Chain A
Amino acid sequence: MGGQSALIQLILLAAVAVVAVLLTRSTADARHQAIRRLSLMGFVVAAVFSIIFPEWLSRAANAVGVGRGTDLLLYGLVIAFLSYISTSHRRMNLMSRRITLLTRELTLAEARGERGPGAASLAPTDREDLEDRGGPTT
């Protein structure tokens, strides 16, 4: 069984690597959002399937070198959780940045109002950084 348990390890390592890479990339665009939604749907389908046909899960587990179906499920859950954490962290940072820029603009607008009609507003580069091309979270 040694060779087969190496298979699950490979799969899990690859999944962790993917999650780590995703940490460095934007998650806001339509493609990533679609991928997340498809994954979620895939997960739901697999879950329903394994509830109706419980032996399927065990067979899938054995195929990759895992003893029990529930163990396979657990591993999948851990990966999904890590992915969620990284996505969530990035979105929180983006939100925090928005709040800063909003507060700053409010502060400067008040100052301009007191001192007379004036000049600048939100720097164009900031606007680009914050473009949310993906819409709401999953």
Chain B
Amino acid sequence: MQASHSDQVAPGPTRYADDWLVIPLYNEATVVGDVISAALPTFPNIVCVDDGSSDGSGDAARAAGATVLTHAVNLGQGAALQTGISFVCEQPGARALVTFDADGQHQVQDAAAMVDLIDSGETSIVFGSRFLDGRTKPGFVKRTILTFAVWFTKQSTGMRLTDAHNGLRAMSVQAARRVNLQQDRMAHASEIVLQLGRTGLPWREHPVHVLYTDYSRGKGQSVWNSVNILVDLLFK
């Protein structure tokens, strides 16, 4: 697969034929079908890990054309992500994967741009960041929490990220094989950064636009979650 320098070639089904989207899925039946339909033209390989949803999310994802893996019991987003990552690493010829949210917050073009960086050999790991350019505008409370998360991530992993809790991350399969998440729930976000940092492989950040729709705002990550994440990390 040739590396072409992005903008001239339109994304078609063969360009990312060796790359995968990994989508952890829990009760997003109303939107996941649309998210997958929007991504499939660019990313033909999509694996959705249904983490014990009770609203038919798995069926919706399957109907939209994704490969769906199902957890027999709900384990948490971290566990679902790891299952998806392990799955992709088992696929022959897999080159890179992108972790992608099921609720429509992430943009397919951002994922594609991040995969381009990896497929072209420029880097092995790309962390999406909302704060590299001015596109994303989170509320004040969220910004404060995120600032603390960035500081904490720097203290615990030594890596200076501008956006520590962004679900959009791309990595080569080589890097993905070194990921082994033990945090099943929300603390996985810090753990994955730590593990990817430890690989010693080249990494960088890439600006991404996160869409805060009314839907996603309604189920957003509360302050309480932050407390739980901290406890999980300190007492693992």
Interface residues of B in 34-78 (CB under 8 A from A): 49, 67, 69-73, 75
Q: A107-B49, A107-B83 are in contact. Are A120 and B90 (CB under 8 A)?
A: yes
Bitwise, B175-194 to A at CB < 8 A (1) or not (0) is 00000101010000000000
The interface residues of chain A lying within 8 Å CB-to-CB of B71 are 103-104, 107
**A31 interfacial contact with B, CB 8 Å:** no
**B123 interfacial contact with A, CB 8 Å:** no
Binding site for A on B (CB under 8 A): 49, 67, 69-73, 75, 79, 82-83, 86-87, 89-90, 180, 182, 184
The interface residues of chain B lying within 8 Å CB-to-CB of A108 are 69, 83, 86-87, 90
CB <8 Å contact, A119 and B90 = yes
Q: A103-B73, A107-B71 are in contact. List 13 more A-B contacts (CB 8 A).
A: A97-B182, A99-B75, A104-B79, A104-B83, A106-B72, A107-B69, A107-B70, A107-B72, A107-B83, A108-B87, A111-B67, A111-B87, A112-B90
Interface size on A, residues (CB 8 A): 18
The interface residues of chain A lying within 8 Å CB-to-CB of B182 are 97
Bitwise, A82-109 to B at CB < 8 A (1) or not (0) is 0000000000000011011001101110
CB <8 Å contact, A118 and B75 = no
CB <8 Å contact, A125 and B180 = yes
CB <8 Å contact, A100 and B79 = yes
CB <8 Å contact, B180 and A123 = yes
Which residue of the partner chain, among A97, A118, A125, contacts B90 with CB atoms under 8 Å? A118
A102 vs chain B, min Cβ distance (A): 9
Which residue of the partner chain, among B67, B75, B87, contacts A100 with CB atoms under 8 Å? B75
User: Measured between alpha carbons, how far is A100 from B52 in the docked complex, in Å?
Assistant: 13
5 closest Cβ pairs, A-B complex: A104-B83, A107-B69, A119-B90, A111-B69, A100-B79
B185 vs chain A, min Cβ distance (A): 10
Q: List 13 A-B contacts (CB under 8 A).
A: A96-B184, A100-B79, A103-B72, A104-B75, A104-B82, A107-B49, A107-B69, A108-B86, A108-B90, A110-B69, A111-B87, A119-B90, A125-B180
